[in-house]
Structure 1
Amino acid sequence: MSLDHLKPPGDDRSRSPSRSPRDADKVPLESMDSTLDVAKYMISCKTRCWETQALDIFRAAGFVVISEVLSEHQCQEVLSACEEVAAQIVGPEQWGNRSNRGRYSFGVASSTGSILHVPEIAGNLLVQAGLVLHPLLEEIFSKDGKADFLCYSGGGDFVLPGVKDYQFLHGDMPMAPGDDRMPPPFLSVNFCVQPLTALNGPIRLVPGKTERDWDRRQEEPPEWRSSRLFPCPAGAALLRDVRILHAGTPNWSAATRFLPSIEYISGGLRATQDEAMFPPSRCIPRGLYETLPEPIQILCRELVAEQGSEPENEDSENLKPWQSRYWHGVTYERA
């Protein structure tokens, strides 16, 4: 699949020289450290009353890591599916579509705007992991004693080996003064199907900080640049308010780093009827939808394709506005 239509015009960062995994032996010392104490933001889903502790962490930081959500077998199954999808996305030029060459978004690159049509993704992440995380999701999206949320899509990203650039720090949605932190309008649940290490491009996160906490005319603080989520075990789920400042980091390893996600929205965001976002892409085939357990069907009721039809095929000329641009701090029109 060609992604030339997604190249940011005039962006020199996407035209850097080709990279080779052989460069991975030249790792700067700064890439070996992190100012983020991951243990403070992580809890196992097998811990007693884990949901309560996880909610406290999420409220304070805007993200929380839940370990032991996926088994080793599930991680391998999802990883294999990600590799197959990536093989269809990455062209010989390796342009990428996340503002740096070699970085890709599953959702933007997919013709359905999602990866929920992939059975291994739906079965392991949407269903199995979704059921484990459901009590916490209900707490996060609770307002006035009622949980109100829907599944919006399946996405995430991957970064090829040898990518040396830091992605610019950003929030994926604006947070205006006076906006409440809870419930978040948009939640991404990223899944570690491989361990996140110092070398393979772990995501960086700035706890509790959004776009309104940073004057972009100033350089980002050094501790923010090194606030990277590692070590983080395979099988963990990162629940993240997308307004929290975050960015990609270099992948010095010899393997592609995958971080697929399931995305959820609040009932409040859905009620806005924002034409740039709604209705969402009908990305789940009817046959697959009918195999989902009832709690998951309820969350995905707007995503199911009609009987006898395929999931919506959004070609490059008919992408929704949020699919055809980068949601990462700046807007790029299609070339």
Structure 2
Amino acid sequence: MDDNEDMTGTARTEDRPGRALAGRIALVAGATRGAGRALAVELGRAGATVYVTGRTTRERVSEVGRASETIEETGELVTAAGGVGVAVPTDHLEEGQVRELFGRIEAEQGRLDILVNDLWGGERLTVESIFGKRSWETPLADGLRMLDLGVRSHVITAALGLPLLVRSDGPLLVEVTDGTAVTNRRYRENLFYDLAKNAPIRMAFGLGEELAGYGGAAVCVTPGFLRSEQMLAHFGVAEENWRDVIAVEPTFAVAESPQYLARGVAALAADPERAARWNRKSTSSAELARVYGVTDVDGSRPDAWAYFDAVAERGEAVSVEDYR
């Protein structure tokens, strides 16, 4: 048996060369699909052991209604990328389940180094109940459900996970949302959605203050125009032919894959200066790409927020391709 193998003959993650996060323990809450899945896989590719949670399993489908992506599959993809993926089906609105999750991580690892809060699942509500409606026109149950999915789940997870996270020698909390503190100065079309997407920004701001005393950092990140599985299905295309959509929706030219944000976050997590550089801030996939030199899967660096700002806010006549 090689010195870099365990008793099963498998190379130990922490001994593999070029793994910036080797030996680190991460949790990606909300990793069934989209940005969450990509974040988990990229952290694993960098060498981390990644616990992944979600509500859709091979036996049960969540309210999102997509049986094609499961949390077990995400765990397998993390392992296939070179990390150690551990799938733990969890509803983060159920306090007991979240306590069990962190109890398991504590028992198996003794600490947590990286907590990624990517909980959401409200896409159906944004389409059916939110956009184009004033707050008093929005079904109250739908609006409150959106706050549960986008705010309450984040608060429960942070409150129960931080006691374990601060055992790390460099704790990192990553909140994931839609928009930054700058872009979200504009009203996000509906009160419930606006609250749901601004809360993680404020959580990173406040929790960064608390984590600073432990040498840690909290940062909020956002993708741009995300080419998620759900978005591709909406347009009836796959990742291989996503550019076909541009003929009917020109702005889709600035869309980005989930891996784009994930590569930037993995680089941030491996940055020894991350606390000084990012604590309490919000940032985007495009800014992370510029800072760390990463690209999307096609080698481009899309900046959807800058594009929409130029077009929607300043009314400029620009080419979408100039923002790739």
Q: TM-score, normalised by structure 2?
A: 0.25
Report the structure, 1 or 2, having the larger helix content.
Answer: 2
Report the structure, 1 or 2, having the larger strand content.
Answer: 1
Higher relative contact order (CA 8 A, sep 6+): 1
